[in-house]
C-alpha cells in the first residue's frame, strides 16, 4: 500500500453549515503535504476525520488501507493545535505517557530531541512558555515511528528561534516510509518543506499539486499562490 491516506468523496456537514464537500485527496508514502487554507476552511475537520475522532457525513477515508479507528490511531502521530497534555504532567511524565501507549515510540530519539529542543525533564508542563510547549509537543509526536504524521499549525505563535528548531526537527524526521500532513497559514516559512500542497477553500479542494511544478507553472511562490487563491 503506497498510499498512506485516501479520501474519496469525503463530505461533512453540520446542521447549519458544510464543513467539507466532496474531498478527493491521496497522499503517498514519503510525501509531505501542506494543507493550506484560512481558519474555517475545513482543515481541522478533515484532520479530525483522519484521526477518527469525528465521523464523516459521506465518503470514504482510509489510513494505510484501514478505516479510522483504534487501529489507525496506533500508526498516526497527531499534533493538535491545543494544549492537550494533562495539566498535572511534567515533561518526563509526558514522555513516559507516550512511551507507554505507543509501541512505535522511540525513547532514545525522544531524549535526543529533548536535548535538541533544550527542554528539562522535571519542569511542569503548565510552567512552559508557548514556544517550549510547541517544542515539547513536537518532540512527543516526532519521537514516534509512525506511518502518518499530522501536524496542525506546528509553528503558529512560536518565536523565530523555536521555529527554526521545529523546522529542523521536521526535516530531520523525514523518512521514505511515512508521510506527513502539515496545516499552516504561515506558508512562507514552510513551503520548502512540502512536496505537495492542497488548498482548501470553504470545505472544497480548489487546487492541488507538486510544489515545484506549481512554481514552474505559475512562476510564483506557494505563498503568492495562496494569496491569489484566497484573496
Q: Which spans of this chain sit near other proteins (rule: CB under 8 A)?
A: 30-32, 48, 51-55, 69-71, 73-74, 78, 80, 82-88, 93, 97, 100-102, 167-168, 171-172, 174, 188, 191-195, 212, 215-216, 219-224
User: What does the alpha-carbon distance between residue 5 and residue 21 come to, in Å, rounded to a whole number?
Assistant: 17
Closer residue to other proteins (CB): 204 or 224: 224
Query: Residue 103 has which C-alpha cell?
Result: 509501541
User: What does the alpha-carbon distance between residue 180 and residue 167 come to, in Å, rounded to a whole number?
Assistant: 13
Closer residue to other proteins (CB): 123 or 220: 220
148, 179 contact by CB (below 8 A): yes
User: For residue 209, how many C-alpha atoms fall within 13 Å in the half-sphere facing its CB?
Assistant: 13
Closer residue to other proteins (CB): 100 or 231: 100
Closer residue to other proteins (CB): 55 or 58: 55
At its nearest, how many Å lie between other proteins and the CB of residue 99? 10
Q: How many CB atoms lie within 10 A of CB 120?
A: 11
At its nearest, how many Å lie between other proteins and the CB of residue 189? 10
Closer residue to other proteins (CB): 71 or 157: 71
- The distance from CA 204 to its chain's CA centroid, rounded to whole angstroms, is 19
CA distances from 204 to 4, 78, 191 (A): 21, 23, 21
At its nearest, how many Å lie between other proteins and the CB of residue 158? 16
Backbone angles phi, psi at 209, to 5 degrees: 165, 170
At its nearest, how many Å lie between other proteins and the CB of residue 190? 10
At its nearest, how many Å lie between other proteins and the CB of residue 186? 13
Give every strand in the sheet of 58-63, ordered side by side: 18-28, 3-13, 58-63
Query: Residue 142 has which C-alpha cell?
Result: 516526532
Amino acid at each position: 500500500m503506497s498510499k498512506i491516506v485516501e479520501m474519496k468523496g469525503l463530505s461533512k456537514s453540520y446542521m447549519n453549515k458544510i464543513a467539507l464537500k466532496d474531498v478527493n485527496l491521496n497522499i503517498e508514502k514519503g510525501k509531505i503535504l501542506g494543507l493550506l487554507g484560512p481558519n474555517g476552511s475545513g482543515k481541522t475537520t478533515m484532520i479530525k476525520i483522519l484521526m477518527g475522532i469525528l465521523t464523516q457525513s459521506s465518503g470514504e477515508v482510509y489510513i494505510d488501507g484501514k478505516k479510522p479507528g483504534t487501529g489507525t490511531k496506533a500508526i498516526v502521530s497527531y499534533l493538535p493545535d491545543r494544549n492537550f497534555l494533562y495539566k498535572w504532567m511534567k515533561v518526563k511524565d509526558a514522555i513516559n505517557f507516550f512511551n507507554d501507549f505507543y509501541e512505535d515510540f522511540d525513547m532514545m530519539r525522544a531524549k535526543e530531541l529533548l536535548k535538541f529542543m533544550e527542554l528539562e525533564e522535571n519542569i511542569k508542563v503548565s510552567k512552559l512558555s508557548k514556544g517550549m510547549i510547541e517544542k515539547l509537543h513536537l518532540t512527543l509526536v516526532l519521537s514516534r515511528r509512525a506511518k502518518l504524521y499530522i501536524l496542525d499549525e506546528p509553528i503558529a505563535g512560536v518565536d523565530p528561534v523555536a521555529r527554526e528548531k521545529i523546522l529542523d526537527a521536521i526535516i530531520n524526521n523525514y523518512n521514505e516510509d511515512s508521510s506527513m500532513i502539515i496545516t499552516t497559514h504561515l506558508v512562507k516559512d514552510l513551503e520548502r518543506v512540502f512536496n505537495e500542497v492542497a488548498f482548501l477553500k470553504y470545505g472544497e479542494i480548489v487546487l492541488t499539486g507538486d510544489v515545484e511544478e506549481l512554481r514552474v507553472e505559475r512562476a510564483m511562490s506557494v505563498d503568492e499562490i495562496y494569496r491569489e487563491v484566497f484573496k
